[in-house]
Each structure stands twice: as structure tokens, then as C-alpha cells.
Amino acid sequence: MNYHANEKGYYGEFGGAFIPEMLYPNIEELRRKYLDIMYEESFQKEFHQLLKDYVGRPSPLYFAKRLSEKHNCKIYLKREDLNHTGAHKVNNTIGQILMAQKLGKKRIIAETGAGQHGVATATVCALMGMECIVYMGEIDIERQAPNVARMKMLGAEVRPALSGSRTLKDATNEAIRDWINNPVDTHYIIGSAIGPHPYPDMVTRFQSVISEEIRWQLKEKEGRENPDYVVACIGGGSNAAGTYYHFLNEPQVGIIAVEAAGKGVETGESAATSALGKVGIIHGCKTMLMQTTDGQITEPYSISAGLDYPGVGPMHSHLHKSGRAEFYSATDDEAMTAGLELSQLEGIIPAIETGHAFAIFDHKKFQPDDVVVISLSGRGDKDLQTYIDYFKLA
């Protein structure tokens, strides 16, 4: 079976481009050109140069000795938290800003939930001297104040999404509406492996630098390119897509996804899309999403704003349905506890999103000689207040 997108952007039955005609010219132009532009020698050279000199890649693959002892297997951490701006998000925004330039666009829009993608977008816009508008739910603006300040300092305009639940889903709607209103000079930098084709595939390819590095780094350390398992947390699924990419067609590598269960899958306050979702259309893409029987999209819940999304990228829907990946979900409590454990065993404070990946040990037992690579997708600086409140650290 093939786990990559076909030329129409389908992963099995999932994907495609369910867009109103107003978006067609922009999406069609991108669809026709993205692969040619991306694999031009000059583009690759500039992309990789920036990843090296500006982002600080390759990110280390670190053997976590104490965590390995605790969980009785060989655990490696892919340190995306050490990237400039503190998460994997910047891999994609560097790629897409170069893409926008090649397409002749002058103005950049983006959506953000926790603010990580917004910051990564504002950063590359500052780097390239381009106008940047970031849509963010009014509720998220309140609860992620430090990232709002960072975006403003980087010169971006942060526009509140006032519709619906005023969170990530609505910020995405507003960004799409902006693109409908500004169809000529604007490029929309989507932050996750979601949206209409070619976005999921394009974002995944930009993020695939993660698994590309894991292969040669693991070869150096373990003498083999393939781990036994790769583990990542999933909201929309961009860090997961990048972590899995080069292992998708390597059947001996187990692929593990951890979603946010919120207060518990059955509580009605959850974001575990694979467990709670059904096939439908969200933001231009056919995928698993949380919805009513009537097809109205429902509100997810997670303590981490970055996993607070009612859908999941189409690649992941396919990995789930085909059985290629194992899906688990971690509750708020499990993720917070796993974050604290990583902090105290390895001296690394992860983002709460990332904490969900580390909660895998509550759900799955590995063999002592299993090599398990976990995507450490982001650092926890932005979440300190949440950690402080949760563990009463103050």
C-alpha cells in the first residue's frame, strides 16, 4: 500500500480539495507548481541553507538515558524543541515563505492556535520583509498572551477571530475568508498537514526533514536507519507527518500517534479525533473530523491549544483506517504528568502538546531492545503558566 498522497491529493479515501470556486485559482496555481518549485536546485539549496544557518538544523537526536531506564527500552528524542522559535513549525514556514516568493506573492496570512505557527510565520515574514497577518481566536489571544506579544514584536498584525468558538478552527475560517477577499497578492501559510490539496502534502514534505535526519542520525548511533517505533503527538498532524515520512513504506517501523483525549475520550471534552470522528469535510479536505450526526463541526477540547482541533490531517486518517499506525490518546493529566517526568529525568521541559507523545508509556509497553524515537516537537516555555497552575508550582 502507498501511504503518500496521489496526484489529486488523496491518501486512500482521504484528502482532495473541497474548496469554493473563489479559492480555485490560488489552489490550482499552487497545485500545478509546488513540486516543480520545491525540487528546483536553487530552492532546495536556499531552503537547506536557511534550515542550517537560521533554524539551527540538524536538530539533535538525543539518547535519553534516564528516561530509557525508567521505561525499559532505548528512547531517542528528536529535538525539534531546539529549533529557532522553539518548535518544528518553522521547518514549514521557511519552506512556504520561499514558495510564496517564487509565486510572486507580497502578503502572507496564517492561522494559529497556541501561537507557535503564528510566531514561526511572523518570524519568516520579518526575515523576508513581507507583510504578515495572523488570525487567532479571541479566546486563544487571551490564553496565549506571550506569543501574541512575540508576533507583534516581529511586526505581524494579529487579527482576532470573533466567530464561532473563537479558537483555532475559527481562526482557520477567517484566514480562508481573507484569502477569498485577497485572491491575487496573498499566500496562505497553513501551519498543519491539513487543508485542501496540495497543502497536506506540501507541509508534510517540508516537515519530512525530521525523518530524513532521524535516519542518518540513528545510523550513526545504532548502526541502522530504521527504529522499531516512531512516536508523535497529533493535532492536525504536521510534526507527526514529518516524523513518519521516511518510514511510511518501511513496514518494520511501527508508527505511533498520540492524540489529545482532553478530560477523557468519553467525557465530551476531548480532541481524540480518530476515536470520536467520522469522515467529513473540514477546511477543504475530506478527513476524520468531530461532528454532529447532522454534519455540524463540533468543538474539541484539550489543555493544549495546539491539539485543540476537531479534525486530523488526511494522511493520518489513512494511517489510522489502514491500520498502518497505532493510535492512542492521552488525557490532560497523563500529558501534564509525562511533561513533568521528562523535565525531571532529562532536564527538558516540553510543550504540553509534546507531553502527549511522552504519555505513550501509560498506554504501551515496549521491549528492552526496542529503539523508540519520540518527536520532541516543541519546548514548554509558552506553557509555563499552565504548568505552574496545574502543579501549583508558584
173 near other proteins (CB under 8 A): yes
Applying CB under 8 A, the site for other proteins has a residue count of 35
Q: Specify the residue for cell string 490539496.
A: 197
User: From the candidates 59, 105, 111, 238, which is the catalytic residue?
Assistant: 111
Secondary structure (DSSP) of 44-113 = HHHHHHHIIIII-PSPPEEE-HHHHHHHTSEEEEE-GGGSGGGBTHHHHHHHHHHHHHHTT--EEEEEES
Binding segment for other proteins (CB under 8 A), chosen from 35-43, 73-81, 181-189, 347-355, is: 181-189
Nearer to other proteins, 71 or 283 (CB): 283
Whole-number Å distance between alpha carbons of 187 and 134:
12
Q: Is 6 in the site for other proteins (CB under 8 A)?
A: no
Does residue 208 carry a catalytic annotation? Answer: no
Annotation marks residue 89 as catalytic: yes
Q: Is the separation of the CB atoms in 284 and 196 below 8 Å?
A: yes
CB of 151 to other proteins, least distance (A): 23
Query: By CB under 8 A, what part of segment 286-345 binds other proteins?
Result: 291, 293-298
* Residues ≥6 apart with Cβ < 8 Å to 323: none
111 is catalytic: yes
* Whether the bond into 368 is cis, omega within 30 of 0: no
Q: Which is nearer to other proteins, 184 or 384 (CB)?
A: 184
Which residue is catalytic, options 89, 105, 169, 286?
89
Q: Which H or E run includes 131?
A: strand 131-137
Measured from the CB atom, is 29 or 389 closer to other proteins?
29
19 counts as binding other proteins under rule CB under 8 A? yes
Nearest-approach distance from CB 22 to other proteins, in angstroms: 5
Does residue 181 bind other proteins (CB under 8 A)? yes
Task: Give the nearer residue to other proteins in terms of CB position, either 297 or 348.
Answer: 297
Q: Which of 192, 274, 304, 377 is catalytic?
A: 377
DSSP state at residue 349: -
* By the rule CB under 8 A, 176 interacts with other proteins: yes
Interaction of residue 71 with other proteins, rule CB under 8 A: no
**Helices (H) then strands (E): counts for the chain:** 16, 14
* Burial of 19 (C-beta count, 10 Å sphere; 0-12/13-18/19+): buried
Residue 58, preceding bond cis, omega within 30 degrees?
yes
Taking the chain, what is the end-to-end CA distance rounded to the nearest angstrom? 52
Q: Please identify, using beta-carbon distances, which residue of 252 and 293 lies nearer to other proteins.
A: 293
Per-residue DSSP letters for 132-176?
EEEEEEHHHHHHTHHHHHHHHHTTPEEEEE-STTSSHHHHHHHHH
- Binding string to other proteins for residues 247 to 286, with x set by CB under 8 A, is what? -------------------------------xxxxxxx--
Using only C-alpha atoms, the chain has a radius of gyration, in whole angstroms, of 19
Asked if residue 103 binds other proteins (CB under 8 A), the reply is no
What residue ranges bind other proteins (CB under 8 A)?
A: 16-22, 24-25, 163-164, 169-170, 173, 176-177, 180-184, 278-284, 291, 293-298
Task: Give the residue numbers annotated as catalytic, written as ranges.
Answer: 89, 111, 377
